[in-house]
């Protein structure tokens, strides 16, 4: 019998993040067979009937957070080329060509999965090469992933040309369709790095295999120029002309979009990943998050790869997302912390197509939960728990994490993997490289 079959968490300040933002200051969550059985205020029964009891000691409990955009394996490149001008073409592509192997992807993903779980992320959307290595790393450590096998119209570390990449993606999506933690999908890199007919092929792939499509959309000035040279007005309208705008599309970045683009994204039920830390550092501009939210477009938060954002920390995304909009518009009242925590939880789950299963603490959903350390200096004092999570707490304030009711982080320590082993392997692996 599974030792984690039933668990009760008591004495918790529960932010359910459901549509009504129900919250229970002296709350409890009952977990049975990996699902949330009940959530409420003032537990009355006897905790002994549950196999596991967790006393949150007044700590805030939120749903497991969702990282809607990353390239997990790139943690092995973290800190390289922060300030390079033509970074993607002259720096990253050559690095990847040289160093990205299955082992690279495995070790980098293990490092990133560890960082994400330890910081309260229970589900991440990934785009990279050798995506089966990402999937295996995720399964081993116990984190969920929407794993996107990347395809591009250029030689890649795992495919010599586009058709090879499509074959890889097919194999990957077939091979992983029954995993409980891994949802496979396809990840066309961007509107500018694939041909028109290739993008159409992606759309057909998505329909045939019933997979999501993760793509970088409207990220850079370079992309804007390319699109305008095609005679198109914007990346979004170009994708629309190819029938790629639909409820399966998770469009990352969406920085350089206009009112008409926002309208198109809304009409076609597209979902957006907003990645404010990496976007700002990359000097790409500021995504019109306020306008996207006004149009009720589903937006989640993402870190982008750890070579762009330098860590995989959703707390940092939450802390800057509203301030960047406030500052841009000169209005400090815009977008409160409830709305921001929603982006990191329920809206994020919707953005990766899993709003029915996770993203909020509700009966029948997967028991994906994060418990904070009530004794942290940043948890003190507690006037507004939403503000505390969004603006004060940090990765290290995460104490316990559950995925499908199984505890995967216990008192700040990974349950299924040895962190020192993971970091040592990563260090040893890069020690063979020359100075980069």
Name which of residues 86 to 105 contact its own copies (CB under 8 A): 87
CA dihedral 217, 220, 223, 227 (to 10 degrees): 80
Minimum CB separation of residue 174 from its own copies in Å reads 33
Determine which residue in the list 61, 68, 118, 227 makes contact with its own copies, applying CB under 8 A: 118
Q: How far apart are CA 194 and CA 169, in angstroms?
A: 15
Number of other residues whose CB lies within 10 A of the CB of residue 434: 4
Identify the residue whose tokens are 């316990």: 400
388 is a site residue for its own copies (CB under 8 A) = yes
To 5 degrees, how large is the angle CA 413–CA 414–CA 415?
110
Q: How far apart are CA 356 and CA 370, in angstroms?
A: 18
Minimum CB separation of residue 431 from its own copies in Å reads 9
Residue 275 or 358 with smaller CB distance to its own copies: 275
Minimum CB separation of residue 22 from its own copies in Å reads 18
Q: How far apart are CA 181 and CA 127, in angstroms?
A: 16
84 is a site residue for its own copies (CB under 8 A) = yes
76 is a site residue for its own copies (CB under 8 A) = yes
Minimum CB separation of residue 291 from its own copies in Å reads 17
Minimum CB separation of residue 229 from its own copies in Å reads 20
Minimum CB separation of residue 340 from its own copies in Å reads 10
What is the per-residue burial (b if ≥16 Cβ within 10 Å, else e) of 73-87? bbbbbbeebeeeeeb
Identify the residue whose tokens are 């995967």: 408
Name the segment binding its own copies (CB under 8 A); options: 39-47, 244-252, 311-319, 343-351.
311-319
294 is a site residue for its own copies (CB under 8 A) = no
3-state class of 124 per DSSP?
A: strand
Binders of its own copies among residues 240 to 279 (CB under 8 A) are: 277, 279
CA dihedral sign, ordered 136, 139, 142, 143: positive
**How remote is the C-alpha of 392 from its chain's centroid?**
21
122 is a site residue for its own copies (CB under 8 A) = no
Determine which residue in the list 85, 89, 229, 231 makes contact with its own copies, applying CB under 8 A: 85
Identify the residue whose tokens are 């120029």: 225
Residue 91 or 226 with smaller CB distance to its own copies: 91
Binders of its own copies among residues 391 to 430 (CB under 8 A) are: 391-392, 394-396, 419-420, 422-423, 426-427, 430
Determine which residue in the list 44, 46, 229, 383 makes contact with its own copies, applying CB under 8 A: 383
31 is a site residue for its own copies (CB under 8 A) = no
Residue 231 or 434 with smaller CB distance to its own copies: 434
Binders of its own copies among residues 202 to 231 (CB under 8 A) are: 221
434 is a site residue for its own copies (CB under 8 A) = no
The 3-state DSSP composition of the chain as helix, strand, coil percent (nearest 5) reads 40, 25, 35
Q: What does the block give as tokens for 150?
A: 């990347």
Which residues make Cβ contacts (< 8 Å) with residue 177, sequence separation at least 6?
Answer: 184
Determine which residue in the list 5, 286, 295, 416 makes contact with its own copies, applying CB under 8 A: 286
Number of other residues whose CB lies within 10 A of the CB of residue 155: 14
Determine which residue in the list 126, 313, 350, 368 makes contact with its own copies, applying CB under 8 A: 313
Determine which residue in the list 319, 341, 401, 403 makes contact with its own copies, applying CB under 8 A: 319
65 is a site residue for its own copies (CB under 8 A) = no
Q: Nearest Cα to 64, choosing from 425, 294, 358?
A: 358
């Amino acid at each position: 019998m599974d030792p984690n079959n039933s668990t009760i968490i008591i004495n918790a300040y529960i932010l359910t993040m459901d549509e009504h933002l129900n919250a229970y200051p002296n709350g409890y969550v009952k977990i049975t067979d990996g699902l949330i059985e009940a959530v409420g205020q003032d537990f009355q029964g006897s905790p002994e009937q549950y196999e596991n009891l967790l006393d949150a000691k007044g700590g805030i409990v939120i749903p497991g957070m969702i990282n809607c955009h990353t390239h997990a394996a790139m943690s092995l490149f973290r800190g390289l080329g922060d300030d390079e001008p033509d970074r993607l073409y002259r720096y990253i592509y050559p690095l990847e060509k040289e160093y990205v192997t299955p082992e690279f992807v495995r070790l980098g993903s293990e490092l990133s999965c560890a960082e994400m779980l330890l910081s309260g992320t229970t589900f991440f959307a990934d785009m990279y090469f050798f995506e089966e290595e990402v999937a295996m790393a995720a399964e081993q450590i116990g984190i969920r992933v929407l794993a996107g096998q990347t395809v591009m119209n250029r030689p890649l570390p795992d495919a010599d040309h586009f058709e090879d990449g499509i074959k890889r993606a097919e194999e990957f999506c077939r091979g992983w369709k029954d995993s409980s933690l891994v949802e496979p999908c396809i990840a066309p890199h961007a509107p500018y790095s694939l041909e028109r007919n290739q993008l159409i092929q992606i759309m057909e792939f998505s329909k045939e295999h019933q997979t999501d499509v993760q793509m970088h959309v409207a990220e850079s000035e370079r992309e804007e120029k390319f699109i305008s040279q095609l005679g198109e007005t914007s990346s979004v309208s170009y994708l629309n002309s190819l029938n790629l705008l639909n409820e399966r599309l998770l469009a990352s970045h969406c920085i350089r979009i206009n009112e008409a683009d926002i309208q198109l994204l809304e009409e076609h039920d597209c979902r957006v990943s907003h990645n404010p830390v990496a976007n700002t550092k990359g000097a790409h501009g500021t995504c019109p998050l306020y306008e996207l939210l006004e149009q009720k477009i589903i937006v989640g938060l993402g870190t982008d790869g750890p070579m762009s954002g330098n860590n995989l920390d959703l707390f940092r995304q939450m802390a800057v997302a509203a301030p960047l909009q406030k500052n841009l518009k000169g209005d400090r009242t815009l977008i409160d912390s409830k709305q921001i925590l929603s982006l990191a939880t329920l809206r994020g789950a919707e953005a990766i197509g899993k709003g029915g299963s996770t993203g909020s603490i509700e009966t029948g959903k997967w028991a994906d939960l994060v418990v904070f350390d009530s004794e942290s200096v940043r948890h003190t004092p507690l006037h507004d728990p939403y503000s505390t999570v969004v603006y004060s707490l940090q990765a290290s304030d995460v104490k316990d994490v559950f995925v499908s009711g199984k505890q995967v982080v216990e008192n700040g320590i990974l349950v299924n993997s040895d962190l020192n082993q993971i970091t040592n392997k990563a260090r040893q692996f890069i020690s063979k490289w020359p100075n980069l």
